[in-house]
Amino acid sequence: MSNSPIWYLENIDLTDILCPRKQEQQPPAHLTYKAGEYINIPNDRSGYIYFLNSGKIKIGSTNAAGKEITDVMLFRGEAFGLLPSSAERRRKDFACCIADCKVSVVSVDEMKSLFRDYHAISRFFLKFTGSKRLEMQDRLESLVFRDSGTRIAHLLVEMGKRKGKQQAGGELLLRDAMKVQELARLSAGSGQRVVARLGEFRKENMIAFSEKNILIKDMERLEKNAQKQ
């Protein structure tokens, strides 16, 4: 993972708080982006925090060899941006839309006001720093101690728990799941390995998938595969 100053929130839906009707004095800017567009790139000036109202965004960087590294994938109700100590601070990572997106943009000063008015947000940020450290440790351990096939299973388990929609039969549906290349970047593997591993999981009846969706049929067995080293 890159040494990035990018912050991203997970598991907190702020879209209602950021609704202009609830922010009459200083409504946030609401912007739309097309798939493939960059919201920010390295060396952009910081000073704003972005809240994803719809769509899907990847946060990543490019290494010295020019290879793109995807650090995290974000979905509706999540946020990213920078909490800089100086308005002149520059971004190190990029944020790119991999689906059409609607984004609310809030300045750091406006965010400070939200901290005062919405105590749940300030409490979340206090817990956030600790939880991110644990998540980064888990990600590093996955990269070091798991092979690429096991990392793919681990990634599917994480996605299922975060964004899976419970179905009548107990399965978890991941709608508009990321493309093979994005799965490869997140799992630090190759596209061919991802395709082969997904095929193995489907053959063993742990998942089913189409061009856009992934259905996790047996989370328990998938988790066992994710724990293998």
pLDDT surpasses 50 at 126: yes
Task: Please choose, from the candidates 180, 187, 183, 184, the residue with its C-alpha nearest in 3D space to the C-alpha of residue 211.
Answer: 180
Residue 19: per-residue pLDDT: 56
pLDDT tens digits, one per residue of 195-204: 899 999 999 9
Provide the CATH topology of domain 7-135: Jelly Rolls (2.60.120)
Structure tokens at 168: 């009548």
Q: How many CB atoms lie within 10 A of CB 55?
A: 20
Residue 128: per-residue pLDDT: 60
pLDDT surpasses 70 at 49: yes
Highest mean pLDDT: which range of 5-14, 82-91, 154-163: 154-163
Residue 142: per-residue pLDDT: 61
CA atoms within 13 A on the CB side of 196: 8
State the residue for tokens 């399965």. 171
State the residue for tokens 């996790």. 216
Residue 204: per-residue pLDDT: 93
pLDDT tens digits, one per residue of 101-112: 999 888 878 777
Parse the chain into domains and list their residue ranges. Answer: 7-135, 146-227
Residue 32: per-residue pLDDT: 93
Mean pLDDT of 182-211: 86
**CATH 1.10.10.10, domain 146-227, yes or no:** yes
What is the DSSP-derived secondary structure letter of residue 99? S
H or E stretch at 209: strand 207-209
Residue 208: per-residue pLDDT: 92
